Amino acid sequence: MMNTKSWCDKEMSGYLWWEKTVEYAFLEQFLAESNLTKITPLAGPIERDLGDAVLNDADFWGVVEFKRCKADSSSEIDKFDKEFTKRNGIKSYTDYYIHLCNLYEEDGVAGGEPHIIVYGAIAGNNIQPIAMDYWQRNDKKLENVCWHDMPMLSRDQFRDYVRVLSHFREPSANGEFRGGIMLGFDGGGNFVRAIDLGYLLDVLKREPEKSMRYKSSQEPKDPEVTLKQPWEW
């Protein structure tokens, strides 16, 4: 039986859709606007530490988390370390954000966190993807936001954000990774060589309590697929 408490009844207006619906709406409406922009879907413990996908435009990077509707965004709090939450009396995202900012090593990261939530809402007969800042929770209609308005950071700043964000995530018991080149795709639907997973794991392993979930990276083999425009991290 479906658990109706998980549905956003006030936003449904008689329609049904899922988180996956929002992902497709996002790709159709937003990603296709620029062949220069790439997206790399994530899974397993890396998805748990970061989000559903990494966005990249030139040398700027960001994270996107997809949700079925706005109310579902509250479930993100479950990804954070429960012991840390209890020990520090954290009650909101604002409390976490204060701790987050105290750990940055790079200048320019605080206040420019490259992280959004994209959820779906009814707009006439369509699903309208809405972009919401992950920490401040401010809404923007995706149709009114161009890539240059998206919160993205340079490579070094993004690595710092990845490191600090993973510091607060609740460990996941599902899956492990050893290394390789993660595949993504561009706005034209072309597969591209995306992020060097071994390098990303090295960033995550800078947090000692996380290192046991990530095996030592290995030299990646070239994927047996025709790829365009390499953009390795």
Secondary structure (H, E, C), 7-76 = CCHHHHCCCCCCHHHHHHHHHHHCHHHCCCEEEEECCHHHHHHCCCEEEEECCEEEEEEEECCHHHHHHH
Query: Is 94 in contact with 77 (CB distance < 8 Å)?
Result: no
Query: Is 154 in contact with 60 (CB distance < 8 Å)?
Result: yes
Q: List the one residue out of 171, 162, 153, 161 whose CA is nearest residue 214.
A: 171
3 state SS of 81: coil
Spell out the residues 6+ positions from residue 18 whose beta carbon is closer than 8 angstroms to its own. 68
Residue count (the chain): 233
Q: Is the dihedral of CA 194, 192, 108, 132 positive or negative?
A: negative
The enclosing H or E element of 94 equals helix 93-101
* Spatial distance between the Cα atoms of 153 and 129, rounded to a whole number of angstroms: 22
Each residue's pLDDT, cut to its tens digit, for the chain (233 residues) gives 334 334 454 445 577 889 999 998 888 776 666 656 788 898 888 888 889 999 888 788 999 999 999 899 989 988 888 888 899 888 888 888 999 999 999 999 998 999 999 998 887 777 888 888 899 877 665 555 555 567 889 989 999 999 899 888 887 665 565 667 888 888 777 888 877 777 777 777 654 444 434 444 444 444 444 434 444 44
Spacing of C-alpha 218 from chain mean position: 24
Tens-place pLDDT, residues 91-138: 888 888 999 999 999 999 998 999 999 998 887 777 888 888 899 877
* Spatial distance between the Cα atoms of 149 and 141, rounded to a whole number of angstroms: 12
Q: What is the pTM of this model?
A: 0.79
Query: Is 191 in contact with 233 (CB distance < 8 Å)?
Result: no
Q: What is the pLDDT of residue 206?
A: 53
* Spatial distance between the Cα atoms of 215 and 51, rounded to a whole number of angstroms: 20
